């Protein structure tokens, strides 16, 4: 029975992955700040852990609990994160630091904490929820994209660091997923644009995201589909370094490679302002 530790497991991708893995016979530890939302997971044998990835003592306690109970950690699924959208000029540096703290440093912290145990075991897998937004920038995406571009570089570095220890690192790059992410990003947009020169456009883009994330579409996937990709990355003999969830994700990344920067800027702006 493989032992899996998941961060950000109280909703969305993390929750669906915990449920899927538990049903497939994995021993799952589900970390989140809101453990009260995991009642149904407990019925499946999932162990909830109080975990704040921005708090080192909380993270250490969670990893220690898993190792103490199971003697191993086979998979770390770094899923915790959120989207802080808004014009760079308007977003406070305190909020920028929080975005980087959760989306980048939280992944670094959790990875650092599990790596000694994985090296001791002689194997392990680290899987990270990134985004197509780590490869190209959407309009008014601000610090969210800064965090995801940094996360992609962080994962590249960890992957090369640990390859000699039989530890695999994979990144999941969804285009959009039906989770709370959309409403959180939209709220950040509305708040940062209020009473500013950007108010009209931030309101328009926020409305676009609220509508876009209200139902599944070609651009917005079901979190259950991402859970299936995580399972594939866990069970593959030789996992890919990166997984995209849809044709939209693959097309977006291809566009970012082929198009001139200003042409890509125009397309990204028109997509959300139409």
Q: Which residues are tagged catalytic?
A: 130, 144, 148
Q: Is 114 helix (H, G, I), strand (E, B) or coil?
A: helix
Task: List, in order, residues 6 or more apart from 56 with CB less than 8 Å away.
Answer: 109
Cα distance between residue 183 and residue 189, in whole Å: 10
Cα distance between residue 109 and residue 114, in whole Å: 9
CB count, 10 Å around CB of 242? 18
Task: Note whether 94 and 24 are within 8 A (CB).
Answer: no
CB count, 10 Å around CB of 83? 28
- From edge to edge, which strands make up the β-sheet containing 242-244? 47-50, 27-32, 3-6, 75-78, 124-129, 167-173, 242-244
Task: Note whether 58 and 109 are within 8 A (CB).
Answer: no
Task: Note whether 169 and 199 are within 8 A (CB).
Answer: no
Ramachandran bin of 45, using left for φ above 0, alpha for ψ from -120 to 50, beta for the remaining angles: left
Task: Note whether 91 and 192 are within 8 A (CB).
Answer: yes
Cα distance between residue 270 and residue 274, in whole Å: 6
């Amino acid at each position: 029975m493989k032992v899996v530790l998941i961060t950000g497991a109280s909703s969305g991708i993390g929750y669906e992955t915990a449920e899927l893995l538990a049903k497939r016979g994995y021993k799952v530890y589900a970390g989140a700040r809101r453990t009260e939302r995991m009642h149904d997971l407990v019925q499946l044998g999932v162990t909830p852990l109080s975990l704040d990835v921005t708090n080192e003592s909380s993270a250490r306690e969670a990893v220690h609990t898993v190792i103490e109970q199971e003697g191993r950690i086979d998979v770390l699924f770094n899923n915790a994160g959120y989207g802080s959208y808004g014009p760079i000029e308007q977003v406070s540096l305190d909020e920028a630091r929080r975005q980087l703290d959760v989306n980048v440093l939280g992944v670094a912290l959790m990875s650092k904490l599990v790596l000694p145990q994985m090296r001791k075991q002689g194997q392990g897998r680290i899987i990270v929820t990134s985004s197509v937004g780590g490869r190209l920038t959407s309009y008014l995406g601000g610090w969210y994209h800064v965090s995801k571009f940094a996360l992609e570089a962080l994962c590249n570095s960890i992957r090369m660091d640990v390859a000699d220890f039989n530890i695999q690192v994979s990144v999941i790059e969804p285009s959009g997923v039906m989770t709370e992410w959309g409403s959180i990003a939209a709220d950040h947009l509305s708040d940062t644009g209020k009473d500013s020169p950007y108010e009209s456009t931030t309101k328009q883009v926020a409305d676009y995201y609220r509508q876009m994330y209200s139902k599944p579409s070609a651009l917005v996937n079901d979190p259950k589909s991402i859970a299936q990709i995580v399972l594939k990355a866990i069970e593959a003999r030789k996992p890919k370094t990166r997984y995209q969830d849809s044709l939209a994700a693959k097309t977006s990344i291809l566009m970012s490679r082929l198009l001139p920067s200003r042409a890509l800027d125009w397309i990204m702006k028109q997509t959300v302002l139409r």
